[in-house]
Amino acid sequence: MNYMKCFPTIDDIRQAAERIRPYAHRTPVLTCQALNAMSGAELFFKCENFQKVGAFKFRGACNAVFSLSDEDATKGVITHSSGNHGAAVALAARLRGIPAYVVMPENAPDIKKTAVAGYGAQITFSTSAPNARETTCGRIIEETGATFLHPSNEFLVICGQGTAALELCEEIRDLEIVIPPVGGGGLLSGTAIAVSAVSPHTMVMAGEPEMADDAYRSLQAGKIIPSGNPQTIADGLRTSLGDLTFPIIQQHVAEIFTVSEEMIIQAMRVVWERMKIVIEPSAAVPFGAILSHPHKFSGKRVGVILSGGNVDLSKLPWN
């Protein structure tokens, strides 16, 4: 299965929406007068923190897993993400009744090991040597014939991620801007395709951590310039764009705003305090972008994608 260079269309996203409907939540869209007052904009929050496994990642993983032929499916799926994508692949595989292999570094936090194991995946630990996880993945693929599912630079994953914005645009009309966060670009590229097709007057923007600003720099340079091991608190956004996500973003995304670590933490805290919902640092980046660049959003109807809510409650960034 090689979809590289073949770009998803709105029809692919609509098919993904049908495919995942029995398994994924149609998440609610929340509003908050306090945050509207604070930003001067009218904000509509698409709450993917309420999605299965606590993140939008379930949409893409679910679409990919349920697209496999029965023959491929029985061999299982594999990924090397220890974060939300790993949990999402594990749950999607369990729902289809097939094996999931997740490769993670020995030193991954216990909370992540527990989450992925809790969804029934088989974990294989890799050393911290360069390319160790790729080598380990390669070995397991050779042994099992499992299908590798990249967290972002993958046709079916992008289509799945685009279903969140599709739902948002169906529910809230006349949005002037839709803004997700950007890491590897799976959510942003899926959002861009969905929004530009179903709501062509809506601009797609993105929020990105200053400390992992490869998408911002790549758009400026007109070519992919990856970040080198960035340590932003927004741990879901440390990966860089890929050769599938970058051209989609180049074509459809109007502007990327970088956000300081301090502003990410402040935005996250405000959402917890005023909206009474738990979001992870990555999910706070778009609202951080809005607070950092109020003149770009003031007076506008803005759809904000809250990407996830998986946080270690014993280690909150403001404590």
201 binds a copy of itself (CB under 8 A): no
Select the residue interacting with a copy of itself from 8, 54, 60, 190 (CB under 8 A).
Answer: 54
Total residues in contact with a copy of itself, by rule CB under 8 A: 19
Distance CA 133, CA 141 (A): 12
Question: In 3-state terms, what secondary structure has residue 30?
Answer: strand
* Long-range Cβ pairs for the range 30-38 (8 Å, 24+): 30/275, 30/277, 32/274, 32/275, 34/274, 35/270, 35/271, 35/274, 35/275, 35/287, 38/270, 38/291
With contacts defined by CB under 8 A, name the span among 48-56, 141-149, 171-179, 227-235 that binds a copy of itself. Answer: 48-56
Select the residue interacting with a copy of itself from 8, 13, 45, 50 (CB under 8 A).
Answer: 50
Q: In the bound complex, what is the minimum distance in angstroms from residue 278's beta carbon to a copy of itself?
A: 4
Q: Strand 29-30 and strand 42-47: pairing?
A: antiparallel
Q: In the bound complex, what is the minimum distance in angstroms from residue 261's beta carbon to a copy of itself?
A: 18
Q: In the bound complex, what is the minimum distance in angstroms from residue 12's beta carbon to a copy of itself?
A: 29
269 binds a copy of itself (CB under 8 A): yes
The region, left, alpha or beta by phi > 0 then psi within -120 to 50, assigned to residue 73 is alpha
Binding to a copy of itself in span 19-38, by CB under 8 A: 28, 30
Distance CA 246, CA 215 (A): 8
Radius of gyration of the chain from Cα atoms? 18
Q: Map tokens 């073949």 to a residue.
A: 6
Of 78 and 90, which has the nearer Cβ to a copy of itself? 90
Q: In the bound complex, what is the minimum distance in angstroms from residue 126's beta carbon to a copy of itself?
A: 28
Strand 147-148: give its sheet, edge to edge.
122-126, 100-105, 77-79, 147-148
49 binds a copy of itself (CB under 8 A): yes
- Token digits of residue 88: 């999402």
110 binds a copy of itself (CB under 8 A): no
Distance CA 201, CA 175 (A): 8
Binding to a copy of itself in span 274-313, by CB under 8 A: 275-279, 309, 313
Of 33 and 131, which has the nearer Cβ to a copy of itself? 33
Of 46 and 80, which has the nearer Cβ to a copy of itself? 46
Q: Report the interface residues with a copy of itself, using CB under 8 A.
A: 28, 30, 49-50, 54, 269, 272-273, 275-279, 309, 313-314, 316, 318-319
